[in-house]
Amino acid sequence: MPDIRDFCERLWNGEIDTIREAHPIAGMWNDRQPDEIAEGLLYYKSVASANTLDTGDGLVMLDTGTEQDAEPLFEGVRRWRPDAPLAAAVFSHHHVDHVFGVNRFDAEASQRGWPRPTVYGQHQIAQHFDRYKRTPGYNTAINSRQFLRPGMEARSWLEWPQEFRYPDVSFESRLRFQRGDCTFELTHTRGETEDAVWTWVPERRLLCPGDLFIWAVPNAGNPQKVQRWCSEWAAGLREMAALGAETMLPGHGFPIFGAERIRQALTDTAELLDAIESRTLALMNEGATLDRVLHEIELPADLLDRPYLRSAYDHPEFIVRNVWRFYGGWYEGEPDRLLPAPRAAEAAEWVTLAGGLEPVLERARAHLNHGNLQLACHLIEHAAAAAPSPQVHALRAEIYEARAAEQESSMARGIYSFAAASSRQNKRDFYNP
């Protein structure tokens, strides 16, 4: 097991690759054994981080992991501090990789006759838990797509939870509480989510930004999920950058140590979000169609090259679409798409005009062989929608496997892998014919 400070040093210097070796949402670190990274501070890294402070008067946990983390996190904390009650926990937002670790401590509190930990969160967490309860099938489907790994079978492999631990204390924009020798300053900033909260502990110079910083291009574009807020996010990052934090424990990815590095990481991320938003808006203000915006926008390549801003998870082009949706709507500016025919009917017209299926498949194969995968995907999608035969699906699976393999963004890779895996079952999508 590498020393975590040494690992973080090499990560910062770009010697460890965030796409292949230290993906921010991979739960590979130390087999879910927490590390004491400073006196009285326990860092636990799984899919997301969960960070426990010993305040001298009970423990406070900043984010709490997934359902699968609940037991190992509890055991790790109890090996470290066997008898200090968990006094409080802060949820940085409602996502399921941050909110399930408290239940185990609730159970402990009732066994040991302690008061239940107080959970703090922004008030909109409750309505997002309610939204999750209304959309279990949708969330199962989209996450089964998003997180599918190449080679896996297409199926409903993620069970969406239905029970949530709601916060005991919620707030609108700012909240401060004291415990032992620590002050916890909670600030709400709309960013990845509507309810995002970051926490600053001045006595420890400790900043927990939640998912507002994740060692990758911000998750501000996720194609299957609800609205994200770029410029408010950037403003929040700048506010954090001014604090002079010495330790930052991101929602995903690894700690950053040192005030100058933390300031740089936060400021660069803010600059990236602002650049994508303002450049998208400039084209929208010309009346551009979404097609023009996507293909004419100049993305800030220098920033996207930083070790902490690479497209490991989300994709910058998805962020452009998110800005389009926020300031505009769903209409792309393509009149034939406003009230379209069924995809199969449209595809059948093109295939007929092409002279039948054979030339379409031949051309798709040629694009695959030449590495023109975008065009290969368009052609094979028409073929599969018009004539979903095993022969068409065999080629389609090959094309999307190749497309997945060239993606740095694991979100894009998951969705393409799901399309390929669905074609192995003679479907364009596992959930659809």
State yes or no: residue 63 binds Zn ion (CB under 5 A).
Answer: no
Residue window 16-35: x/- pattern of binding to Zn ion, with contact defined by CB under 5 A: --------------------
**How many chain residues interact with Zn ion (CB under 5 A)?**
5
Residue span binding Zn ion (CB under 5 A) among the ranges 96-104, 146-154, 174-182, 386-394: 96-104
- Choices 3-11, 148-156, 244-252, 374-382 (CB under 5 A): range interacting with Zn ion: 244-252
> Measured at the alpha carbon of residue 99, what is the angle toward residues 277 and 11, in degrees to the nearest 5?
60
- Minimum CB separation from Zn ion for residue 101, in Å? 13
Contact set for Zn ion, span 266-305 (CB under 5 A): none
Scanning 48-56, 111-119, 175-183, 276-284 for contacts with Zn ion by CB under 5 A, the matching segment is 48-56
Pick one of 41, 42, 48, 385: the residue that binds Zn ion (CB under 5 A).
Answer: 48
Q: What residues numbered 182-221 form the site for Zn ion, per CB under 5 A?
A: 211
Minimum distance from residue 95 beta carbon to Zn ion (Å):
5
Binding string to Zn ion for residues 368 to 397, with x set by CB under 5 A, is what? Answer: ------------------------------
Among the residue ranges 45-53, 67-75, 226-234, 398-406, the one whose residues contact Zn ion (CB under 5 A)? 45-53
Whether 52 contacts 42, CB under 8 Å: yes
- Eight-state DSSP code of residue 160: P
Look up residue 251 and give its amino acid: G
Nearer Cβ to Zn ion, position 54 or 314?
314
Nearest CA to 141 out of 152, 155, 129, 128 is that of 155
- Provide the total of helices (H) and of strands (E) in the chain, helices listed first: 15, 13
Which of residues 65 and 72 has its CB atom nearest to Zn ion in the complex?
Answer: 65
Q: Between 230-241 and 316-327, two packed helices, what is the crossing angle to 10 degrees?
A: 120
Angle between helices 410-423 and 390-405 (to 10 degrees): 160
At 19, is the secondary structure helix, strand, or coil?
coil
Nearest distance, CB of residue 404 and Zn ion, angstroms: 22
Shortest spacing between CB 196 and Zn ion, in angstroms: 10
Pairing of strands 197-201, 49-54: unpaired
Q: Which stretch binds Zn ion (CB under 5 A): 35-43, 84-92, 166-174, 249-257?
A: 249-257
Per CB under 5 A, which region of 89-97, 141-149, 258-266, 361-369 contacts Zn ion?
Answer: 89-97
Contact 404, 416 (CB under 8 A): yes
DSSP for 343-403, please give it. Answer: HHHHHHHHHHHTTSHHHHHHHHHHHHHTT-HHHHHHHHHHHHHH---HHHHHHHHHHHHHH
Place of tokens 């699976």: 397
The nearer residue to Zn ion, 70 or 397, going by C-beta atoms, is: 70
Q: What residues have CB less than 8 Å from 235, skipping those under 6 apart?
A: 189, 270
CA 384 to chain centre: 30
Q: If DSSP codes are grouped into helix, strand and coil, which group holds residue 334?
A: coil
The residue range among 88-96, 277-285, 314-322, 355-363 that interacts with Zn ion, by the rule CB under 5 A, is 88-96
Count of other CB atoms within 10 angstroms of residue 306: 17
CA distance 188 to 168: 17
Task: Tell me: does residue 314 bind Zn ion (CB under 5 A).
Answer: no
**Closer residue to Zn ion in complex, CB, 198/430:** 198
Of 95 and 393, CB closest to Zn ion = 95
Nearer Cβ to Zn ion, position 97 or 381?
Answer: 97
Indicate whether 95 belongs to the interface with Zn ion (CB under 5 A). yes
Between 87 and 237, CB nearer to Zn ion? 237
- The residues that touch Zn ion, with contacts defined as CB under 5 A, are 48, 95, 97, 211, 251
